[in-house]
Structure 1
């Protein structure tokens, strides 16, 4: 309950409302590759990832799987389906052994209807999500492979220009799919960044020497 309160939309919920929300909630244990819900399934719940990793995927026009997002422990997801026709727009699959808290949508909606301020906050969150998706579309259709990889690495960095040591949150092949790239292209970009002495790579660990230099490199014509 305290972990859920740390999320943006539940930070202002009262103990009473949160306790009511937990009625009917349950923890699901998921194995690697297990499907939580399919694209187009009727939505009856939303989820909070307690630990592990879940990928949200959809089918591309060529029939291949397109990773929409890679979720980590502490992420809330599928709450927007309450406003999207009660159908899941993507498929959720466990990328590693995971524990997920399943919360019924009915109780969530009743609480929102009773508290206008909570409803407004939820709509604000959906607006931010839409803005994020529009930015993602721009990244995938306008930016080069170099810019996508650099942009992703910089998103993982804290603010400032100090050297940063990062641990990639997922396997490189999964991140490549998330960026709309092949694993080979993703690896080639990382290799070029190493050769330019902008980063050091040790398996999933990446050391960024100067974030500003990395940002400038992506802007240059090569």
Structure 2
């Protein structure tokens, strides 16, 4: 489904990596590994089309994502490292806005159910500024329950600030998405109880 060929990434005047290639099929999970600063987040930005490679190409279903940008983004859910919340809005308002901005027209009741499912039933109407870091992370992750129709999930450090139970719940959600024919690409420094260990791509092996 998703593949990269001969990718090279330039950040400023520094070449982070080159000759990077991988293939991610339906039902698979890929963990992006490597030391800090090697280019893991930069790779995710290339894969999602938020940045362009210096060399190489990313393909989705056999088509270059630059030439099929709209169709590709319709099948992609990308959650970055930062929660990206408006502190003045409630979790429910933030989630509804994020879904709308991403092109998902989701009913308010579905947003409420997603937030309850992820453990925020007592924080639905609080301003985001009073939430803990783990609760802020959960607001963004609630989108996973509303994006099952998007087969490709790309996640940057999704387990950050989550407690042990939340880590286990998220691992189960990601495993279930793959079991249903989706695929997941993520960075993480944490071990998690996945149903099946993900494949690992070490970006450091392609570092310049």
User: What is the TM-score normalised by the length of structure 2?
Assistant: 0.24
Structure number with higher helix proportion: 1
Give the greater-gyration-radius structure (CA): 1
- With normalisation by structure 1, the TM-score equals 0.23
Query: Which structure's relative contact order is higher, taking Cα pairs within 8 Å and 6+ residues apart?
Result: 2
